[in-house]
Structure 1
């Protein structure tokens, strides 16, 4: 009986990684195209914020690596049910790769500065929001540099088409993810 319990505890993070990879796929697949940008609106970043906040640096990163690998081998997990290495190698691929970096950074910050100490509730929310903002900035930075390199677009037009339109939605996603992370972290 003791061995079975230890085995279940070890497999639980793996199950959570699979669930968050699936959640990212679902949140990515259903997209709303915007006419002036190649990047659609979807809920993928909500999943990234939750993966980093709830699973931490190691497991949050692994969940997003799994997601990206599933898409790279051709499963339709990217926007509008697309898949394949061509999507990752294309102009929006940097944002997809940025999911991995963002999950790691959010997880690292939450592991080190939020859930490793006894914090007051209000301080936890502020720190969660700041860690998710940092992860979002990292994702946008990697994705925008990638987009600029592949399309030859300069910085201001790239920001106007690939970042600025998505900031209000990402702020809402960050607020939702920080609330859910604080509420769900104790259960995990």
Structure 2
């Protein structure tokens, strides 16, 4: 039992590192560039579930908050979280929690994973846009036009990819008794 817990904590740490690396992969598609951080977060939650998926995401966020340059563009520090994009960073924690909870309650199937990850996209974009409005002192329509609308389609595509790959990887890891 103790070895199992230690193994899963190590796996969660590995996934936190994967999220950190993914945040550095920036894809410049006009009008708004995006990173692969959200797909890594959704994969993490889909594969590891509520407890360890959320732990991995929280460790990633905590690493960035304490100053380790794990956020996009090799940035880190509490000031990033307090800035206009901080809401998106913090929102990945409840999004991961939701994905894990949903799959553990409704089943680890591709359809449920797609639903859970699509909802997670809206959790991230909604909370991030609300924080963007507050931090940047924007009007509501400006925050949603700039912080949500351009990301919906690419993030939904990432959600579908993360769901399909996540279930495939999870099933193989469970079969091999690695998680």
Per the normalisation by structure 1, the TM-score is: 0.85
Consecutive unaligned residues in structure 2, runs of 5 or more: 174-178
- In the alignment, is the contact (CA less than 8 A) between 2:121 and 2:156 conserved in 1? no
Alpha-carbon RMSD: 1.7
1:142 matches 2:127: yes
Structure 1 residues 2-151: aligned runs within 5 Å: 6-32=1-27, 40-115=33-108, 124-151=109-136
- In the alignment, is the contact (CA less than 8 A) between 1:64 and 1:99 conserved in 2? yes
Partner of 2:166: 181
Cα-to-partner distance string for 1:36-59 (whole Å, 9 max, x where unaligned): 76xx41001101111111111111
- In the alignment, is the contact (CA less than 8 A) between 2:126 and 2:148 conserved in 1? no
Shift in CA distance, 174/144, structure 1 to aligned 2, threshold 3 Å: same
User: What is the CA–CA distance in structure 2 between the aligned matches of 1:75 and 1:185, rounded to whole Å?
Assistant: 29
User: What is the CA–CA distance in structure 2 between the aligned matches of 1:171 and 1:15, rounded to whole Å?
Assistant: 29
User: What is the CA–CA distance in structure 2 between the aligned matches of 1:54 and 1:30, rounded to whole Å?
Assistant: 21
- In the alignment, is the contact (CA less than 8 A) between 2:28 and 2:34 conserved in 1? yes
Q: Once the 2 structures are TM-superposed, how far is the Cα of residue 31 of structure 1 from its aligned partner?
A: 2.5
Highest Rg: 1 or 2?
A: 1
